[in-house]
Amino acid sequence: MTLLDNLKWRYATKKMNGQSIPEDKLDYILEAARLAPSSSGLQPYKVIVISDRALLEKIKPIAYGQEQITDCSHLLIWIAWDGYSDERISNVFNEMMDLRNLPHDTMDAYRQKVLELYEHEGKEWQAHHAAKQSYISFGMAIATAAEQKVDATPMEGFDSEKLDELLKLREIGYKSTVILPLGYRDADNDWLINMKKYRKSKEQFVLEMSVEDAADINVSEKFNLNDLATK
């Protein structure tokens, strides 16, 4: 099966059957999440893996009672830095230089530039920027789960403040960003399983643009942008 076939196969599973996924498949999905690219290679996030039933029961109400939390095999939780700091950024660059057998100061100018850029944006922007990076890893995990024929439900439907409190994330300088129950679909009881996948059409989604288009004051007409703005 091609990647596109797998992406068509997957769906945001609403009902899972409680079956466990093999450890090697879990590792494979986590490895794809680890290999995701991130801005400046900082990887300002981590993934928490939970299969402990008692902890999942505590998380379920925080995720507004969504049943996949307790019917899944493993719950993945992406957590991201609550802000950038000289220490956090320098640690990454130093490890990178060690790995590449280069002196620590090799990328000092770049490191300084990143730090200045981020410092000036403030803590809220920084946490948001780190959270955005975590979503790239999250996307990789979703696609890889599909390749492994493991079902997954991408979820933002949870109270992140409460989850951070439960998992003591504030104490370690992290915030939860997004969660992904992994498991297997309950084909007989999932209302979504036979529904057609809804996506915007290619025409609505892909806008090809040339330098002339960009300079054309009528560009909104060409792309029917007034219409597209609401689609």
Give the residues lining the site for ligand FMN (CB under 6 A): 11-12, 14, 66, 153-157, 178, 197
Nearer to ligand FMN, 122 or 157 (CB): 157
Closest contact distance (angstroms) between CB of 12 and ligand FMN is 3
Whether the CB-CB separation of 74 and 50 falls below 8 Å is answered with yes
Closest contact distance (angstroms) between CB of 214 and ligand FMN is 30
Nearer to ligand FMN, 72 or 178 (CB): 178
Angle at 198 between CA 196 and CA 199, to 5 degrees: 145
Return the exposure string of 86-123: e unless at least 16 CB atoms fall within 10 Å of the residue's CB, then b: eebbeebbeebbeeeeeeeeebeeebeebbeebeeeee
Nearer to ligand FMN, 7 or 219 (CB): 7
Nearer to ligand FMN, 130 or 155 (CB): 155
Nearer to ligand FMN, 22 or 157 (CB): 157
Nearer to ligand FMN, 11 or 28 (CB): 11
Name the residue number minimizing CB distance to ligand FMN: 157
Closest contact distance (angstroms) between CB of 11 and ligand FMN is 3
